Amino acid sequence: MPQYEMAAVYSQRRDAAQSAADTFGIRHVVGSIDELVRHPDVDIVLVLTTGPQHEEAVRAAIAAVKTVYCMLNLRVGYFLLLSAEWIGN
């Protein structure tokens, strides 16, 4: 979608993040989830990790008051939705 830009990328494997940045023209490779969600160029966080890492990334994005896109199980998703609503109020 042309109206969006991938501004930053993070991976536990720095070389994988750098490879993605080089391939897709992403300007910033960051060293942690917290650095990613607090980056001033990041408005939406796409959580594209393996299952066990979803919750940490989604919680960090919610805490940073970012829009989050993630597919995860409903039980954890409901809890995180409640957390997001609480932070928004």
CATH of the domain at 40: 3.40.50.720
The pair of three-digit structure tokens given for residue 33, joined into one six-digit string: 């989830």
CA 54 distance to own-chain centroid: 9
The confidence score (pLDDT) of residue 74 equals: 44
Q: What is the pLDDT of residues 20-76, one digit of tens each?
A: 999 999 999 999 999 999 999 999 998 887 777 777 888 899 899 998 888 765 455
Position 63 in a domain: yes
Domain count for the chain: 1
What is the SS3 assignment for 1?
A: coil
Longest dimension (CA), the chain: 39
Position 2 in a domain: no
CA distance from start to end of the chain = 31
